[in-house]
Amino acid sequence: MSILRREFCGSALLAVASSLVMRGPAHAAAPKIRVGVLKFGTVNWELDTIKHHALDVANGVEVEVVYFAGEDATNVAILGGSVDVIVSDWLWVSRQRSQGAGLTLVPYSTAVGAIMVKQEAPLRGIPDLVGRKIGVTGGPLDKSWLLIQGLARRDYQIDLPEKSEILFGAPPLLSEKAATGELDAVLNFWHFCARLEANGFRRLIGAEEAATALGATGPVSALGYVFHDQWANEHLEAVMGFVQASAQAKKILAESDAEWQRLAPIVRAEGRELEVLRTRYREGIPGRPIAEEESDAARLYEVLAELGGDRLVGDARQMAPGTFWAGLKT
C-alpha cells in the first residue's frame, strides 16, 4: 500500500465523518449545501467527482455548485449567507473570526506554490535569486511568498524584495513571461507550477519546504472548506455528509487514473501535463489529524504575522481559536 493511500485511509476527516453520517435518519429529505467556487478553479475537479458519482446523495446531502468570477465575490457570498460553503485559507478565516465573524474550516488541500525555474537555469537555491527578476502571483502578502522570504532572511540573511526585482501579476501572465524568458523565476499557484513542470521547468523551492523549515511538523492545508459555526451546528449531519463525500471523492482521485482521464476536459490538460497535475494534486490530499494541522498553522501564523504585519492579519498576532472546525477534532 502506498504512503498516500495509507495516510488517506487513516484520515481523521474520513473516519469521523463516516461515524456521524451513519447516524442520520434513513429517509430524511436531503438538505442542500450551496458551495461557492470560482468557475475554473481546481476545487471543481473534486466537486465534479462528487456529482458524477452521486457521492453527495449517497451521504444524505445535495451539493449545489454556485459559480463566481473572483475570490472577493465568494468571500462576500459566504459572509452574506448567499452560499453555505466556500474554499479559502486559514489566514482569512482567522482574521474574520478575530473581527467577529463566526467562520471556520476543514482542511481541503495542502498543495501550495513553488518558485519555478527552467530546467537549464543556473539557479540552484535561494541565494541564486539575488539580482534576478522574479514573478510573484497573489501579491506581496501571498502566504507562499512570505514564507519563502522568511526562510531567505533567517537562513541566508537575504531580503528578496530588496535584493531582487519582483514583479506581481496574474498567474497565467507570469507563467507566460517565465516561459518566454522574461522572468528568471516565478512563484505561482500549485497548478500553474505543475503545468510549468510538465513543460520544461523545475522546482527551486516550494512553500511547503519553507513552512517545514520555519516550524511546521508536516503538511499544512493551504486551503479549507469554509462555513459558519452556527450553520454547522444547526446542520451537523449535512456538514458531515459533505465532508464524507469530499473524502470519498479524494479517495477516487487518489486511486483512479481513469477518473483523471474523465476529468481531462475540465482540468484542461492531457498527456504529460495531466500526469503532473494528477501527481501534485494527490500529494496535496490532507492525511493528518486536524489537531496537528491546527497546531502547525498556529505556529506558521505567528511567522506570517511578523512578516506581513497588520495588512495581513489585522491586530491579531495569534491565530483565532476555532479557525479549524472543532467538529472534527477527536
Tally of domains in the chain:
2
Query: Is there a domain that residue 290 lies in?
Result: yes
**Same domain membership, residue 272 and residue 132:** no
Q: pTM of the prediction? A: 0.90
The mean pLDDT of the chain is 92
Domain that holds residue 142: 114-213
In 177-235, the DSSP E strands lie at 185-188, 201-206, 223-228
Query: Is there a domain that residue 300 lies in?
Result: no
Mean pLDDT along residues 250-278: 98
Q: What is the pLDDT of residues 185-238, one digit of tens each?
A: 999 999 999 999 999 999 999 999 999 999 999 999 999 999 999 999 999 999
pLDDT for res 30: 87
Ranking 24-33, 222-231, 290-299 by mean pLDDT, the lowest is 24-33
Mean pLDDT along residues 272-288: 97
Q: Does residue 287 sit in helix, strand or coil?
A: coil
Q: What is the pLDDT of residues 39-59, one digit of tens each?
A: 999 999 999 999 999 999 999
**Given 156, 189, 213, which residue is the final one in a domain?**
213
DSSP letter string over 163-189?
Answer: HSEEEE--HHHHHHHHHTTS-SEEEE-
Q: How far apart are CA 130 and CA 123, in angstroms?
A: 10
pLDDT for res 330: 53
**Same domain membership, residue 231 and residue 198:** no
Query: Is there a domain that residue 187 lies in?
Result: yes
pLDDT for res 328: 82
- Of 307, 327, 304, 326, the C-alpha closest to 92 is 304
| HEC secondary structure over 83-143 | CCEEEECHHHHHHHHHCCCCEEEEEEECCCCEEEEECCCCCCCHHHHCCCEEEECCCCCCH
pLDDT band at 8 (very low <50, low <70, confident <90, very high): very low
pLDDT for res 266: 97
Q: Please, what is the angle between helix 257-267 and helix 236-255, to 10°?
A: 100
**Same domain membership, residue 227 and residue 105:** yes
CATH number of the domain to which 313 belongs: 3.40.190.10
In the predicted model, is pLDDT for residue 22 greater than 70? no
Q: What is the pLDDT of residues 145-181, one digit of tens each?
A: 999 999 999 999 999 999 999 999 999 999 999 999 9
Query: Is there a domain that residue 205 lies in?
Result: yes
pLDDT for res 4: 39
Mean pLDDT along residues 244-261: 98
**Given 213, 233, 264, which residue is the final one in a domain?**
213
Specify the length of the chain in residues. Answer: 330
In the predicted model, is pLDDT for residue 10 greater than 80? no
CB pairs under 8 A, 24+ apart, for 264-272?
A: 266/44, 266/45, 266/48, 267/45, 268/40, 269/195, 269/198, 272/198
Q: What is the pLDDT of residues 298-321, one digit of tens each?
A: 999 999 999 999 999 999 999 999
> Which CA distances in Å does 88 have to 7, 120, 140?
23, 35, 18
Query: Is there a domain that residue 140 lies in?
Result: yes
pLDDT band at 29 (very low <50, low <70, confident <90, very high): confident
Percent of the chain at pLDDT above 90? Answer: 89
**Same domain membership, residue 100 and residue 7:** yes
In the predicted model, is pLDDT for residue 23 greater than 50? no
pLDDT band at 14 (very low <50, low <70, confident <90, very high): low
**Given 157, 189, 213, which residue is the final one in a domain?**
213
**Same domain membership, residue 20 and residue 150:** no
